Amino acid sequence: MVNLRRALLILAVLLFAVNPFTTRAEEAHGHGDAPKTEAEKVNEHIQHHLQDDHYFTLFKKGKEYVGFPLPVILIDNGLKVFSSGKFHEGNGVAEVDGQYYVNYHGKIYKTDANGSLTFDEHHHPTNAKPWDFSITKNVVGLMVATLLLFWGFTSLAKTYKKGSNNLPKGVGRVLEPLVLYVRDEMAIPNIGHRYKEFMPYLLSVFFLIFTLNLLGLTPIGFNVTGNISVTLCLALFTFIITNIKANKDYWKHIFWMPGVPVPFKFVLAPIEVLGMFTKPFSLMLRLFANITAGHSVVMGLIAIVYLFQRELTIPGSIGVSMLLTLVLFFLELLVAFLQAFIFTMLSSLFIGMAVEEHSHDHH
């Protein structure tokens, strides 16, 4: 019961800590009016699905994206709060307290009333950018996932509160086997007798990633774990917890390995220090790359259906594409669980290595 409450508290911290800055590459500035090929249209739609946005898009109708605006929160000589719908009105320039802002490729820049932007030799805007703490689509996804987990774990906690002999009901029947799985297959084998201390974090990370991955497979189009700023922050949590809780044996094996000749200690110490940072880097990159690649392939196969329908008349081609997409979708369900499992398993392994008690009597 205590672990579940601590897990919910950590989950709330994760929600606010992994607030990703926007990275959408979709606004109509400087794209020109040249007609786009089918491949360019497909690629644009996939990029729109994968990237973050200040506007919550539900679906596309013709050339317009149908959805609802999200609040934009800027710090620029004071707090500026307004609706992202202003970027979709008139010439796309939002005027707030005498200041003008434009959304270009998912990033907000200061501009003038005409929306002018200056570019460097690499075609990157050189206009000043305010501090952006907006509620973007990915943040909404984090909020939805957190509310679902609060609801699910609160239901499970109420069952335990009534007595240990009560069986979970409803969503608790799904959560309890997964909680036991994280405890028995990850925490205890990798961490040992101190596993209870880290169970709240491991449960929070596992269920947050798993829920976000499942939401990413819905037609709504969340792609939170495919945002590298989110995976970076999750990896940083593992890195911080590992190094804060590490014992003296852990640091001794990094900077001055027992039983190793002194000249080799000077060689191995920099390698071990580098390894401290490559571990969270691998956590970050593995989750980001696998989720992004999976979404891209699924979206690409779905696009093939429409390309076959428009351009080709191969008998059964649409059915084959739909079958491949369906098979890959079920594979993505497995990947959704597998990526949550891998991230949590490696986190527990790194923590276990840091808190492990070593015996040096044989030296």
| Model pLDDT, residue 312 | 53
- 206/172 same-domain check: yes
Q: What pLDDT tens digit does each residue of the chain (363 aa) get?
A: 545 445 544 444 444 444 443 333 334 444 444 566 666 666 666 666 667 888 887 766 666 667 788 899 999 888 999 988 888 887 788 888 888 999 887 889 999 888 888 888 888 888 889 999 999 888 999 999 999 999 999 888 888 777 666 777 778 888 989 999 999 999 999 998 899 999 999 999 999 999 999 988 887 778 888 888 899 999 999 999 999 998 888 888 888 887 778 888 888 888 888 988 999 999 999 898 888 887 777 777 666 666 666 555 555 556 666 677 677 778 888 888 999 999 999 999 999 999 987 654 444
Q: What is the pTM of this model?
A: 0.79
Closest CA to 22 of 178, 163, 130: 130
| Model pLDDT, residue 13 | 43
Helix (H, G, I), strand (E, B) or coil at 132: strand
Among residues 117, 135, 153, the one where a domain terminates is 135
The whole-angstrom separation of Cα 230 and Cα 262 is: 41
Residues near 68 by beta carbon (within 8 Å), at least 6 away in sequence = 55, 56, 58
| Model pLDDT, residue 39 | 62
Q: What is the 3 state secondary structure string of 67-112?
A: EEECEEEEECCCEEEEEHHHHHCCCCEEEECCEEEEEECCEEEEEC
DSSP state of 211: H
Residue-number span of the structural domain to which 72 is assigned: 21-135
- 175/306 same-domain check: yes
79 inside domain: yes
- 98/158 same-domain check: no
362 inside domain: no
- 80/159 same-domain check: no
| Model pLDDT, residue 91 | 79
270 inside domain: yes
* 77-102 per-residue burial string, b: 16 or more CB within 10 A, e: under 16: eeebebbbebbbeeebbbeeeeebbb
Closest CA to 342 of 284, 293, 298, 297: 284
Closest CA to 84 of 131, 43, 134: 134
Among residues 135, 167, 186, the one where a domain terminates is 135
- 147/239 same-domain check: yes
| Model pLDDT, residue 15 | 41
Q: Is the CB of residue 337 less than 8 Å from the CB of residue 225?
A: no
**Kind of pairing, strands 71-75 and 64-69?**
unpaired
341 inside domain: yes
Q: Which two tokens stand for residue 212?
A: 């976000």
Residue-wise pLDDT for 126-145, tens only, equals 888 999 999 988 899 999 99
Q: Structurally, how many domains does the chain consist of?
A: 2
Q: How many CA atoms lie within 13 A of 291 on its CB side?
A: 35
Helix (H, G, I), strand (E, B) or coil at 9: helix
DSSP state of 21: P
- 244/96 same-domain check: no
The whole-angstrom separation of Cα 290 and Cα 244 is: 29
321 inside domain: yes
The whole-angstrom separation of Cα 212 and Cα 34 is: 37
- 281/177 same-domain check: yes
Among residues 85, 114, 135, the one where a domain terminates is 135
Closest CA to 230 of 150, 299, 136, 294: 136
- 100/156 same-domain check: no
